[in-house]
Amino acid sequence: MAAPAAGAKVQGQTGGRHSGERRQLVLAGGGHSHVLVLRRWLMQPRSRPPGTRICLVNRHGTTLYSGLVPAVVAGLEPREAAAIDLRRLCSLAGVVFVQAEITGLDPAARELQLAGRPPLRYERLSLDLGAVTAAPGEAMAGTPVAVKPLEPFLAWADRRSAGEELVIRGGGAAAVELALAFRARGLACRLLLRGESLHLGSAAANRAGERLLAQAGIPIERWAPAGAHADLACTGSHAPAWLAAAGLPVEPQSGRVLTHPSLEVIGHPGLFAAGDCGLIAAHPRPPSGVWAVRASAVLAENLGRSLSDPQPTLRAWRPQARALQLLGDGGWHPEGPRALALFGPLALGPTGWIWRWKQHLDRTFMARFARLAPMAAPGPMACRGCAAKLGAAPLTAALARLAPAGREPLAEDAAVVASGTDGGLLLQSVDGFPSLVDDPWLNARLTTLHACSDLWASGAAVQSVQALVTLPEADAVVQEELLLQTLAGVVSVLEPLGAALIGGHTLEGRDGAGLALALTVNGGVAPAGLWRKGPLRPGDALLMSRPLGSGVLFAAAMAAAAAPAWIDAVLETMQRSQAALVPLLAAHGCGACTDVTGFGLLGHLGEMLAATGMGDGGDPAVEVVLDAAAIAAHPGALELLAAGFASSLAPANAGALALLDGPVRLQGGRGDGLRTAALRELLIDPQTCGPLLAALPAERAPAALAALQGAGFREAALIGRVLSRRDGGAPPAHG
């Protein structure tokens, strides 16, 4: 990379909230302690460590509140009621969210190791990873599903249906409460114990638990033999094995990291652990959400103190000796849901009022996050990603003034810049935008996929890339980490293509802007394989490779209005490379192609029509009939459009709606008028990593669609047909 240019200024990320950062604090895991630390820093900004770039790393975009999981299994609460949206929480708190699987730790290098991407360096690290279900210590017939991690368990639980038999290994609170929850769903449950009694903390609690199971008709098999079949394992918890492998001090039986009362790991200054993966050596307590919640205030304060210069004494914390347990019965009883209250040697219930008390506590905890709102802004927030591009009107007007007289300023997706010695064509394109997401690796991956789509839409293979990276003002160590993660995100796309990152340039954004990335993409194609935007030919079918709606989804996410599952789904789709489309479309006779990006489907379809030219009478030579029912939207996009959300670029794209009164016709309704209006808005929604839109002979279109769907592009669809202006508008064929 070339050296930074002095005084360079470019557009950037999020209003400079990362400018001047000197070090990096990484929160590994989205456990209860960490989410409450983030909430504290959001509600009390002065308590946040100054001059610090903070990252939260978690394998999922949400974290589940364990207290509500049995109610979700029983069908008393929707899954959304138990999920805390980590992306939203991080965005509100000014924290970078990194979705990744943590695979290890190198304390000497101060690096957190992540699957499929470079390690993340830290100045301070806090671990709140939750736990996994401990091995039962004996082989069991089959492979029982583990209750932890909770996400795969809930996916498995969703597939269970009434009438099934379910054998659960375990005698603790989780086993009892889940057996009752599945009983409420109509499953026939049986509990296997290794010994004689349940493990609910006291003799009174064990007796109360057995009475509750007996009332529900759930048999207990005591001294269950080794190897007995079980469907679900609730056999206690164990911290992730990589903690011990990293050389951290751990409690041998549970693998939990041993800490001082300050929550700092013994022998590892600057490394903290809390929640189910941590254990205060002087005050051991079993894993419980109660202690994780109460540890959060001390953890937040000590993380800040550890980053102060000079560093004050860390605050010590002594957890309470006992924790209250409220154990629900799943609601199977005719009188409604009930619960037990267990505290030390005491057991009370089951009664309905204890259930209502538990429900109040659980909902109060979740309300701490649901009620958080973004800070008021002076006006609508401008969208990022490809939605940050200039509108079509000023762009085309400027190009028209620049072009020589009489020459149409029509640009293809990629320009032919030279011919190779083998006769092949060398193509080049450039693209980039301010960061769509805060995670620099993911942002770079998305930007690279988006930029490469210009060459894929031209039928070319990507060969090399140069990068222009703008970094925010920060300490050199922070800039080094941002640059490493950004370049690694670019390379994650290029390596599978056999393409190379051959150089580039770095800038420092000195206007408080932030991270931005632009790429020059080079590729090659045989002359016969070059696709242009047109001409469209009568009889062509239009094939779209993936759904629309990324623009409105990210606009709504900025307003904290997009469901976490919607953002998870759109990011999963956007991260899939579309390089494999090129040979598939070529094999089925693709004659014209473009990628749907900032100007939306209608805007880019208008470019294809412009490339087709005019007929003898001065009217467009062809018309396009779009099938409304075939145009797919990302989950949540139509709902958000119907609710009035839109990308900040959408108004500039609205001029393309005039095409619907001319050479483009939309046929086939989608229900009520509100949905129809939302579909029209979907047609002008700007896309980042959007679909390819290809024209190919109608008779070959069904086979092409089958080939794409068979290759993993399952949401590809035939969305319309090209007709001669004199054909009168026959309805489109689609598969």
Does residue 54 have a pLDDT over 70? yes
Q: Is residue 360 a part of any domain in this protein? A: no
Q: Please state, in angstroms and as integers, the Cα–Cα distance from residue 52 to each residue in 41, 123, 128, 137, following that order.
A: 12, 9, 19, 44
| Cα three-residue angle 164-168-170, rounded to 5 degrees | 170
In single-letter form, the type of residue at position 678 comes to A
pLDDT of 389 reads 62
Residue 70 CA to residue 159 CA, distance in Å, equals 15
Q: Read off the pLDDT of residues 710-731 as tens digits, 9 standing for 90 and up.
A: 999 999 999 999 999 765 544 4
Torsion angle defined by CA atoms of residues 624, 625, 630 and 632, in that order, rounded to the nearest 10 degrees: 50
Averaged pLDDT of the chain? 89
Cα–Cα distance measured from residue 532 to residue 611, given in angstroms and rounded to the nearest whole number: 8
Q: Which residues have CB under 8 Å from 622's CB, separation 6+?
A: 535, 536, 537, 538, 609, 612, 663, 722, 723, 724, 725
Asked if residue 207 belongs to a domain, the reply is yes
- Does 422 share its domain with 500? yes
Whether 477 and 548 share a structural domain: no
* Helix orientation angle between 564-574 and 550-558, rounded to the nearest 10 degrees: 140
Higher pLDDT, residue 14 or 62: 62
Question: Considering the domain boundaries, does residue 3 fall inside one?
Answer: no
User: In the listed set 253, 273, 306, which residue is the last one of a domain according to the structure?
Assistant: 306
Distance CA 58, CA 69 (A): 19
Q: Are residues 142 and 196 in the same domain?
A: yes
Q: Residue 77 maps to which CATH number? A: 3.50.50.60
pLDDT at 159: 94
- Let me know: does 693 contact 594? Beta carbons within 8 Å: yes
Which token pair is 408? 């149409």
Are residues 205 and 57 located together in one domain of the fold?
A: no
CA diameter of the chain: 93
Q: What is the DSSP letter of 633?
A: B
Per-residue pLDDT reduced to its tens digit, 73-121: 999 999 999 999 999 999 999 999 999 999 999 999 999 999 999 999 9
Is 264 in contact with 298 (CB distance < 8 Å)? no
Q: Of all helices (H) and strands (E), which one includes residue 694?
A: strand 692-697
The answer to the question of residue 357 being in a domain is no
Q: Please work out, in degrees rounded to the nearest 5, the angle formed at the alpha carbon of residue 617 by the alpha carbons of 615 and 622.
A: 35
Q: Are residues 515 and 632 in the same domain?
A: no
Q: What pLDDT was estimated at residue 2?
A: 38
Q: Over pLDDT 90: what percentage of the chain?
A: 74
Confidence bin at 513 (pLDDT 50/70/90): confident
Please indicate, yes or no, if residue 9 is contained in any of the structural domains: no
Q: How far apart are CA 386 and CA 599, in angstroms?
A: 9
Task: Look at residue 717 and give its three-state secondary structure.
Answer: strand
DSSP line for 457-482: TTTPEEEEEEEEEEEESB-HHHHHHH
Nearest-angstrom CA–CA distance, 17 and 374: 14
Exposure string of 263-283, with b = 16+ CB inside 10 Å and e = fewer, is bbbeebebbbbbbbbbbbeee
Q: Are residues 192 and 246 in the same domain?
A: no
Q: Does residue 176 sit in the same domain as residue 188? A: yes
**What would the pLDDT profile of 359-388 be if each residue is shown by its tens digit?**
999 999 999 998 887 654 444 555 565 556
Say whether both 629 and 679 belong to one domain: yes
DSSP secondary structure of 274-293 = -GGGEEETTS-----HHHHH
Residue 448 pLDDT grade (very low, low, confident, very high; cuts 50, 70, 90): very high
691 and 563 in one domain? yes
* Assigned domain for 498 exists: yes
CATH, residue 590: 3.90.650.10
- Please determine, for residue 262, whether its predicted confidence score (pLDDT) is greater than 80: yes
Q: Which domain holds residue 423?
A: 413-531
Number of domains in the chain: 4
> How much is the average pLDDT of 593-601?
95
pLDDT band for 322, please (50, 70, 90 cuts): confident
User: Looking at the predicted structure, is the pLDDT value of residue 16 above 50?
Assistant: no
Highest mean pLDDT among 304-318, 410-424, 451-465: 451-465
The per-residue pLDDT for 457 is 97
Looking at 309-323, 393-407, 556-570, 680-694, which range is the least confident one? Answer: 393-407
What is the rounded distance in angstroms from the CA atom of residue 167 to the CA atom of residue 33? Answer: 33
The reply to whether 608 falls in a domain is yes
User: Do 526 and 589 belong together in one domain?
Assistant: no
Q: Is residue 562 part of a domain?
A: yes
Q: For residue 480, what is the domain's CATH number?
A: 3.30.1330.10
Range of 8-12, 269-273, 385-389 with top mean pLDDT: 269-273
Q: Is 52 helix (H, G, I), strand (E, B) or coil?
A: strand
Residue 259 bridge partners (DSSP) = 265, 280
Same domain? 575 vs 704? yes
pLDDT at 343 over 60: yes
For the entire predicted model, the pTM comes to 0.89
> Are 297 and 425 part of one and the same domain?
no
